[in-house]
Chains A and B, each alone.
Chain A
Amino acid sequence: MRARLPFSPRHLALVPISAVMVLPLVWMLVTSVESLDQTRHFPPTLIPTAFHWSNYREAWNEAPFGRFFLNSVIVTGTAVLSNLILCSLAGYAFARLRFLGRELLFVALLATLMVPFQVIMIPTFLIVQHLGLVDSLGGLIAPNLVTPFGIFLLRQFFRTLPVDLEEAARIDGSTRLGVLLRVVLPLSLPALATLGIVTFLWTWNDFLWPLIVITSTDQSTVQLGLASFQGAHVTKWNLLMAGNVMALAPMLVVFIGAQRWFVRSLATTGIR
């Protein structure tokens, strides 16, 4: 008989890896409650002796964080909502409707997935400029209203659903849109949750595009705000980290809350 370990052998590899992943996060948390002196100490103190919670209030007051958060929420919320709606519609069309040039269009769509953002950055900026949206939240939202990734993800998921269900609904008197709303989408909640989370993370964390489009402070997002914070208060690491923790918090909440859905849908789309 083999001796039973109280844990799976896989943990021998997984625990050290997670330790490495978690370390920067812990360091950030620790730094955010240290005094300025402690942050400059070498070797770095990883176990705090006193908790300077006031760092958070100070950071919040040093920059218009309230405004940044509001901007981020508006941009991210709009992007998530419009991606869910528009990617569902487009994904369903690619999955089920027969129309001329469908395959060609889809291949073209896939091709755009492979183009790095840096390549289309300038043309996108020119379009946004043409629309008169530079230095406004609209300029942040417009390019993110619908993503090829979202269309691709939902199309793949929709195709795994049994066609019979949709045909039954059509015979029962549903229009195509009714089929999408009443049958397809309720069965696609895991995929929709994934798309929602991914869009949230991308948009919330996006730094490069806001950096290009936004110049004024009152149109800044959280990520942009943090960056300017770093420039102005380059030495106050504890305040910077406090700001970082605040920017990270919503993401953690969303991720932990939706993790169950998220993992399930990636698993099912992967296998089938």
Chain B
Amino acid sequence: MAPVVFHQVTKEFPGGTTAVDALDLEIPDGELMVLVGPSGCGKSTALRMIAGLEQPSSGRITIGERDMTGLSPGARDVAMVFQSYALYPHMSVRDNLAFPLRRRRMGRDEIGRRVTEMAEMLELGELLKRKPAQLSGGQRQRVAMGRALIREPVAFLLDEPLSNLDAKLRTELRAELKRLHRRLGTTMVYVTHDQIEAMTLGDRIAVMNRGRLQQVGSPDEIYRRPCNLFVGRFVGSPAMNLLPGPAVGRGADVIAGVRPEAMHRAGEVAGGIPLELVTDVVEPLGSDVYVHGSAGGEAVVARLPGNVQVSPGDRLALAIDPADLHLFDRETEGRLAHE
């Protein structure tokens, strides 16, 4: 177990792509950090630099105070789970699990003991003799986790490990992963493009965009105080609504962000900012209803209680609590303090 720290790490690929740009990030010992961002933002590259599969163009990465520059992947004592699982197809599940231990010249008895232990923990007992091709997606995923966990690495790297599974299994394994993390207490770095996965899984979340780190914080902080327009729009589903300042009684140099659930029917909030929504599409979800439409000249989504009766074409009088407004500078897109 060890902290993982990026010191001003930049990665430029030949051809001029700057995949990671001056990244400063500290992942304390035992934390589950999620790197999240849209496709191509450089999160996999950042993870691969921790593993040693890519070398930074400049800057340093340390794991537990040790400078990793120039160290081969095998010498770093980290383990990684790939999106494709990367199980060795010609080896049985048992040999897949034993592989990292054999490479570290562990004794036969010890290897046998650990494989049995891991198989028990991940419920792989009956599958030990099978080849990866004879396993289901979820079973492969667990073998991949087992192969990474078995040698008790100082840090555990996961690159979209759940994205090849169906939605139900994904939710189940997400909870299992969180339990596993709590039990082992190993530093974990988890990469995903799915903000819901990030919010539910992470102790802290690092949001990236175009190679640059945007914000680091707990899921709550990121959701409640997005540091800029990008983070505000990226986190949360449906996405944050953006209104021109004047529509909510602010200056023209301001963009106001309002979460769909922060829109209420007029009269429900004392001192609320009034807003008229022209309804276009109504999506009932049982407990809630998503009302799509336009307000202040912008497309807007409001999340209202399920018992609200609306039909397309209706004009809804809404109100927003001023404290729920996220104000951003129109030029810099940075967050503005409430005046």
Interface positions of A (Cβ within 8 A of B): 162, 164-165, 167-175, 178, 182-183, 186-187
**B77: nearest chain-A partner, CB-CB:** A173
Evaluate whether A173 and B103 lie within 8 angstroms (CB atoms) in the complex, with A165-B88, A167-B73, A186-B90 already known.
yes
Chain B, residues 262-291, CB within 8 Å of chain A (1/0): the string is: 000000000000000000000000000000
Cα distance A182–B104 when bound, in Å?
14
Measured CA separation A173–B88 after assembly (Å): 14
**Which residue on chain A has the smallest CB distance to residue B74?**
A173
14 contacts between A and B (CB under 8 A): A162-B86, A167-B73, A167-B80, A170-B53, A170-B72, A170-B74, A171-B51, A171-B74, A172-B103, A173-B104, A178-B103, A182-B99, A183-B88, A186-B90
Does B296 sit within 8 A of A, measured CB to CB?
no
Distance between Cα atoms of A167 and B78 in the complex (Å)? 12
Additional A-B contacts beyond A165-B86, A169-B99, A178-B103 (14; CB < 8 A): A162-B86, A167-B86, A168-B82, A170-B52, A170-B73, A170-B74, A171-B78, A171-B80, A172-B79, A172-B100, A173-B100, A174-B74, A186-B90, A187-B90
- Pairs of residues from A and B, 5 with the lowest C-beta to C-beta distance, nearest first: A173-B103, A164-B86, A172-B100, A168-B86, A173-B74
Task: Give A223 Cβ to nearest chain B Cβ, in Å.
Answer: 38
Contact of A174 among B80, B86, B103, B147 (CB under 8 A): B103
Q: Which residues of A contact B103 (CB under 8 A)?
A: 172-174, 178
Contacting residues, chain A, for B100 (C-beta < 8 A)? 172-173
Q: Which B residue sits closest to A171, measured CB to CB?
A: B73
Query: Is B246 located at the chain interface by the 8 A CB criterion?
Result: no
* Residues of B near any A CB (own CB < 8 A): 51-53, 72-74, 76, 78-80, 82, 84, 86, 88-90, 99-100, 103-104, 147
The majority secondary structure among interface residues of chain A is: helix
User: Least Cβ distance of B154 to chain A in Å?
Assistant: 13
On chain A, the residues within 8 Å of B52 by CB distance are 170-171
CB distance from A264 to the nearest CB of B (A): 15
With CB as the reference atom, state the residue of chain A lying closest to B83.
A164
B104 contacts across to A, CB distance below 8 A: 173
Q: Kindly report which residue of chain A lies nearest to residue B78, judged by CB atoms.
A: A171
CB distance from B110 to the nearest CB of A (A): 15
Q: Output the least CB separation between A75 and chain B (Å).
A: 32
Question: When chains A and B are docked, how far (Å) is the Cα of A174 from the Cα of B104?
Answer: 9
Minimal beta-carbon separation of A224 from chain B (angstroms):
41
B159, closest chain A residue (CB): A164
Q: Which of B73, B104, B147 has the most CB of A within 10 A?
A: B73
Tell me the complex Cα distance, A170–B99, Å.
11
Expressed in whole angstroms, the Cα–Cα distance for A6 and B86 within the complex equals 46
Q: Which of B53, B79, B89 contacts A187 (CB 8 A)?
A: B89
The listed residue (B76, B79, B88, B89) touching A169 by CB distance below 8 A is B88
Q: A167 and B53: CB pair below 8 A?
A: yes
Which residues of A lie under 8 Å from residue B73 when comparing CB positions? 167, 170-171
Nearest A-chain residue to B80, judged by Cβ: A171
In whole Å, how far is A137's beta carbon from the nearest beta carbon of chain B?
36
Which residue of A167, A169, A170, A173 has the most chain B CB atoms within 10 A of its CB atom? A173
Q: Which residue of A lies closest to B72 (CB)?
A: A170
Which residues in B have their C-beta under 8 angstroms from that of A173? Answer: 74, 100, 103-104
Chain A CB count within 10 A is highest, among B52, B74, B78, B99, for: B74
Chain B residues near A165: list those with CB within 8 A.
86, 88-89
Residue from A165, A172, A175 with most neighbouring chain B CB atoms (10 Å)? A172
Contacts A183-B88, A186-B90, A187-B90 given: A172-B78 contact, CB under 8 Å? Answer: no
What's the least CB distance linking A114 to chain B, in Å?
Answer: 29
Partner of A171, one of B53, B88, B89, B90: B53
Residue in B closest to A173 when the chains form the complex, CB atoms: B103
Chain A residues whose CB sits within 8 angstroms of the CB of B79 once the complex forms: 171-172
